[in-house]
Each structure stands twice: as structure tokens, then as C-alpha cells.
Amino acid sequence: MRLICPRVIAGNRGDLLSRWGILSSLAPLGLSDVAVFCARERHVPAGPFHVLPYGHLYNLIPGWRGWKALWRSDTVLWTAGLDLQDDSSLAKLVHTLLLFGIYRAMGLRIVVVMQGAGPLAQGAGLWLARRIVNRVSVFIVRDPGSHALLASLGSAARLIQASDGIFLDGFDEESAGARENQRSAPRRPGRPLVGINVRLWFHFSSGWVPYQFAKKRYRARAAPHMARVLDGFAKTITALRRRYHARIVLLSMYEPAVEPWEDDLALLRALKERFSGDDEVMVLDEDFSIPEFYALVRGLDLVIGMRLHSTLVAIRAGVPALHVSYTAKGRDIFRALGLGDLAVEVEDFMDDPAIVVDKAARALDDPGLRARVAAVRDETVRRNRTVLAESLALLREQGR
């Protein structure tokens, strides 16, 4: 098979981590002809990859090198992330439908690899999603909730249950020699190191205009809710500092200065301002490579995160994580992993931050939790390897 990965990932570390795991798993399966569009070559692991720059309009117009690579390929791997949703806007669905229509017109098979779906709450969103999935040969679904939603669309695509692509290979090997951020080291006995991630939420609108084209209106919608979220995290940090003398690392799940309207740094800096005189509450805003970021997370004792992948990368690294869940996808994924007790609804957190403080204390005091998380990680990675190998073998057979 001649594979091509054209999905645009603009600085989102979660999507980059998931794609990294998927790409790292291809060569061991005998796949050595893979073209990957990317913003930076370091976003792609070492391996048999032909690296291409993104084109215009989120790769709708990929440039001559991109068109050439598409024409010589036979299978599109649409990797990781979340494109089938209508809570942010309908524009992404329209864009994906156009792309998939072009790929099918070129004779390419489309395989969606370890991606989620939903929410799809509008008639227009469901209509668009159904037509997108009808153009897909195989859809490897990352969580049971997404699988149930996609199955309800009644499409012809073959649906295969798996987990997020972050639960694959290439992390421990690549990050073994990566430096950990010097401001979070050396480790201090009896002083847990806790990573915290906050993301903007409550801003989405299920209309046609994407957030980046109406930022002022979207942010005004979110402001009162996010003030309560930041209050909750400030209380959580205060409690952990007092009870454990914990050192706090504020982590963004976006690379700096790539998409400022999506970056978590503005919120993290606002949170840091509440601890302006405390040098052990730190904002890490460095431009980490994927192995460096993974190495940093691997050195933590606990992660408390809103963005789903801030917690999934922790679990992949064997680090306990509490997810402050803002949509059903987070709850579903943690339940599917057998870690449902480590997820908290964001509304419950806003009403009573002590819920997260208590869970964090139990996590830090539980000597067996790290082993439990590692066991979940190992089983999930094993299952994902099997699903990916079987799915690609099926495609090889169909291509003969």
C-alpha cells in the first residue's frame, strides 16, 4: 500500500501525539511508503516517511508536491483528532466532506485511524457526517461513545473499536534521551510534581462561523464560566501547595505562537498571576518537541487536565491523571479505560473544587495507583497494536 496522511494539525500537541503513535506503528507492520503532510519535520517520527508541507485552505489545495503525492498514493490515512462534530461550527464538517470527495474522486481509499466523533446534535451536522463517513472504507474508532454514534448513522463504512492513537508505540524509545525541562527538575523527595492544564470552554456555538473568525463574541460567551473554572483551579493549587508542598507545572497542549486563539497559555498565565509571588507554580511555555514533551509529562507525579490529551499523554506515560471533563467524550474514554473514577464533570468542579482536591489527594496517597495506570496503559497499547495490524492487513487483502 502507498499511504498518505493529509490531515492538518496546527500545533495541537494532543493530535500530534496521537498521530506520532500511529505513524510510529506503521514500519513494524511492513509499511514503508508513507507520505505525511506536516507543519514541521520534527512532528513526524523517524521512519519511512516522505514529508510534505501543508497547502492552502487547510490542505484543500495542497500544492503541486501534495497533488503529486496524492496521485501516486492509493490509501488516505486520516489520523487522530476529532472532525465529526458540530458543537464548534459546521464549517469543519463541510471542509472534511469536500476533502473526502476529492480523495474519492481521485480513486483513493480513505481509512480513518483512531479518531472520535461527536457531538452531532443538529440535523445539518448529522447529514454532513453521514455523507463523510459514507466515503470511508474503514473507520477505526477511538471510544465506545463515538462508535455508537457512528453506527447510528447507518453508513457503509466498516467500524472497528479501538482506543486513541496515543496508546501506540514510539514514545518511550524516542523520548529516552530527551531532556526534561530544567525548571521542573531536579525532583525533590516528598514534594510531588503536579501538572495542570486548563482550556477555554463554554465558547462554542453550533453555527456556521468558526471560532477564529468571531473570537470576541465567542470569548464573551465563555468569560463568566471560565472565571469560575479558574477559581476552581486556583483553589486546587492552593490546597495542593498547603497539603503536600506540591510543585505545580502549568502545561499548554498547544505549541506556542501557532494558533493563539486556541492556545491554553493565556488562561495558564492568568492562573499564574494568582500565584505571582510563588516560584513553585510555573508556566512552561517552551517549544518542546514531541519526545521532549512526553519526557516532561513522564516526570510528573499527577496530571489534572481539562484537555483530554493532557490526561491521555499522562496515562500513556504511566502517570496518574484526573480529567476535568467538559464533554461526553472525556467521560466515555475514561470509563472505557477502566478509569472512570478519575474523571470529574467540569460543572461539578465549578460548583465544588474540593471534588478534584480530594481525588488528587487520594491519587497522591495511593501507592498502587501508578501500577494500576501502567497496567491499563499496557493493555490498551497491546489491543491497539492488534487492531491496527488486523485493519491494515484487511486493507491489503482488499487491495489485491
Three-state DSSP at 61 gives strand
Which pLDDT does position 204 carry in this prediction? 64
Phi, psi for residue 93 in degrees, rounded to 5: -65, -40
Is 13 in contact with 293 (CB distance < 8 Å)?
A: yes
Closest of 293, 332, 337, 334 to residue 195, by C-alpha: 293
pLDDT one digit per residue (tens) for the chain, 400 residues: 899 999 999 999 999 999 999 999 999 999 999 999 999 999 999 999 999 999 999 999 999 999 999 999 999 999 988 899 988 778 899 999 999 999 999 999 999 999 999 999 889 999 999 999 999 999 999 999 999 999 999 998 999 999 999 999 999 866 666 654 444 445 677 799 999 999 998 666 666 666 666 667 767 777 899 999 999 999 999 999 999 999 999 999 999 999 887 899 999 999 999 999 999 999 999 999 999 999 999 999 999 999 999 999 999 999 999 999 998 888 999 999 999 999 999 999 999 999 999 999 999 999 999 999 999 999 999 999 999 999 999 888 876 4
Domain count, the chain: 2
Cell 510534505 belongs to: 52
At position 124, the amino acid (one-letter code) is A
User: Is 373 within the bounds of a domain?
Assistant: no
Same domain, 107 and 256: no
Rg of the chain on CA atoms, in Å: 21
Same domain, 342 and 226: yes
What digits encode the pLDDT tens for the residues 162-182? 999 999 999 986 666 665 444
**What's the distance, CA 101 to chain centroid?**
25
Beta-carbon contacts of 126 under 8 Å, excluding residues fewer than 6 positions away, are: 120, 153
Q: At what angle do helices 328-336 and 308-316 cross, to 10 degrees?
A: 20
User: Is 227 within the bounds of a domain?
Assistant: yes
Q: At what angle do helices 13-24 and 290-298 cross, to 10 degrees?
A: 100
Give alpha helix (H) positions in 166-245.
171-175, 215-244
Which pLDDT does position 207 carry in this prediction? 62
Which pLDDT does position 88 carry in this prediction? 77
Same domain, 157 and 61: yes
Same domain, 113 and 20: yes
Is 254 in contact with 268 (CB distance < 8 Å)?
A: no
Same domain, 133 and 206: no
Which pLDDT does position 183 carry in this prediction? 44
Which pLDDT does position 220 carry in this prediction? 77
At position 140, the amino acid (one-letter code) is I
Q: At what angle do helices 123-133 and 91-105 cross, to 10 degrees?
A: 20
CATH for 214: 3.40.50.2000
**Cα separation values, 288 from 70, 91, 160, 161, 202, Å:** 30, 30, 33, 32, 28
Which pLDDT does position 108 carry in this prediction? 97
User: Is 64 within the bounds of a domain?
Assistant: yes
Same domain, 231 and 109: no
Same domain, 252 and 395: no
CA angle, corner 31, sides to 171 and 291, nearest 5? 15
Which pLDDT does position 357 carry in this prediction? 98
Same domain, 260 and 290: yes
Same domain, 290 and 267: yes
What digits encode the pLDDT tens for the residues 179-237? 544 444 456 777 999 999 999 986 666 666 666 666 677 677 778 999 999 999 999 99
Q: Which range marks the domain in which residue 40 is found?
A: 3-169+380-399
User: Is 304 within the bounds of a domain?
Assistant: yes
